[in-house]
Amino acid sequence: MNSKKVAIVGASGYSGEELVRLLLSHPFAELTAVTSRQYAGQPLARVFPRFAHHPRARALGFSEPNAERLAREAQVVFLALPHGVAAEYAVPLLEGGCQVIDLSADFRVHDPAVYQEFYAHDHPAPGLLPRAVYGLPEVYRDQIRTASLVASPGCYPTSILLPLIPLLKARLIEPEGLIADSLSGVSGAGRKAELDYLFVECNESMRPYGLPKHRHLSEIEQELSEAAGRKVILQFTPHLIPVNRGILTTIYATPAKNGADRTAPDFATRLNERVARCYQDAYAGEPFVRLLEGKALPDTKNVVGTNVLELAWRVDPRTGRLIVMSAEDNLVKGASGQAVQSLNLMCGWPETAGLI
């Protein structure tokens, strides 16, 4: 395989740090630059002692983010920056000939008006939107292979879209009335010095937040609508849970009315079989989606540190509803691991390189 030089802009947050971890051990990617306004001039190993023993980390140090220099030093650049800021770097990097994988929200939503509605400022680079590919490999694999700009999905969206898209495409569930109830570890809030995320404020605490109109709804509804072939509105409630990593999402869906006679005695059995077949068709060959069998249910501890999303479902014969549950590591499949999955596709490497 040909190796490629890669860089990370904004490597001091949790997603950036996780990208560093993954790329240091990647068999084909060569990490040549990491930037951070805050830590510019410091060795990577001093800021993140956990990487100090890695032979490839020794030569790396944080630099100021400079698009021109980055374009010379790297062929692919990851942007792990706040929304609004990411676009500022994407433009010159693409002009400089780099491929860009953006982990922010800047290029996930096709419609700049929706972006404005959810992010409360004008889109910083609407001209690039047509080039951007939504970086969910299980859905857009072919487009990612040839993309120059990948908008890597958010953590909540990944945990909701992978369970729902196959069901909507197969018309197994109604596009109305969908609910996603999600639990997130505290790293999802980023490395920010705010009282709300202090250890004592989060430990022994469980709390909802950001409802009913969380920003991630913009990309989730876009992709659900795409799969359903019509507008989908989602009820979404995120909760903050005292774990470092992980997202657990429980989804409530109504089986498609024309596909199932809910009064039939074998309704639940038959629906269960159809859902199983649908997921098998969609994911049996996917290296990073794990369909749980038997009595097993998702547990974030089984996916933390990996790029795998666990998925299970139950039909409730009492309510006629379908419940789907997923678990992922918000920093891996929900952010940096998925971004590396896109990198592998863009570079023609095996999709699992550096991820298993």
Q: Is 310 in the site for its own copies (CB under 8 A)?
A: yes
171, 267, 314, 353: which one binds its own copies (CB under 8 A): 314
Q: How many residues bind its own copies (CB under 8 A)?
A: 77
Q: Is 213 in the site for its own copies (CB under 8 A)?
A: yes
Long-range contacts of 142-149 (CB under 8 A, 24+ apart): 144/342, 144/345, 144/346, 145/345, 145/346, 145/348, 147/99, 147/342, 147/346, 148/94, 148/99, 148/100, 149/90, 149/94, 149/99, 149/100, 149/102, 149/107
Residue (123 or 333) nearer to its own copies, CB:
333
Q: Give the residue with the Cβ less far from its own copies, 147 or 332.
A: 332
Q: Which helix (H) or strand (E) holds 14?
A: helix 14-24
First to last CA, the chain: 17
Phi, psi of 238 (to 5 degrees): -90, 150
Residues in 247-266 at the binding interface with its own copies, rule: CB under 8 A: 248, 250, 252
φ/ψ region of 217 (left if φ > 0, alpha if ψ in -120 to 50, else beta) reads alpha
Nearer to its own copies (CB atom), residue 191 or residue 277: 191
Determine whether 155 is an active site residue. Answer: yes
From 98, 155, 202, 347, active-site residue: 155
Distance (Å, whole) CA 36 – CA 70 = 13
The least distance separating its own copies from the CB of residue 307, rounded to whole angstroms, comes to 8
Instruction: Provide Rg for the chain, Cα atoms.
Output: 20
Q: How far is CA 217 from CA 23, 138, 143, 212, in A?
A: 30, 20, 23, 10
Q: Does 130 bind its own copies (CB under 8 A)?
A: no
Rule CB under 8 A: is residue 246 a binding residue for its own copies? yes
The footprint of its own copies on residues 175-194 (CB under 8 A) is: 177, 179, 181, 183, 185-187, 191-194
- Residues 28 and 2 sit within 8 Å (Cβ to Cβ): yes
Residue with Cβ nearer its own copies (101 or 303):
303
User: In the numeric block, which tokens belong to residue 252?
Assistant: 């409530």
Tell me which of 67, 86, 202, 227 binds its own copies, using CB under 8 A: 202
Q: How far is the CB of 81 from its own copies (least distance, A)?
A: 18
Position of tokens 């890695």? 54
For its own copies, the binding residues in 8-67 under the rule CB under 8 A are: 14, 25, 46, 49-50, 52-55
Largest CA distance in the chain: 69
Of the two residues 66 and 237, which places its CB atom closer to its own copies in the complex? 237
Q: What's the closest the beta carbon of residue 114 comes to its own copies, in angstroms?
A: 13
Residue 23 or 77 with smaller CB distance to its own copies: 23
Q: Which stretch binds its own copies (CB under 8 A): 60-68, 75-83, 150-158, 239-247?
A: 239-247
- Given 1, 59, 113, 211, the residue binding its own copies (CB under 8 A): 211
Structure tokens at 273: 């079989």
Which of 66, 225, 272, 306 touches its own copies (CB under 8 A)? 306
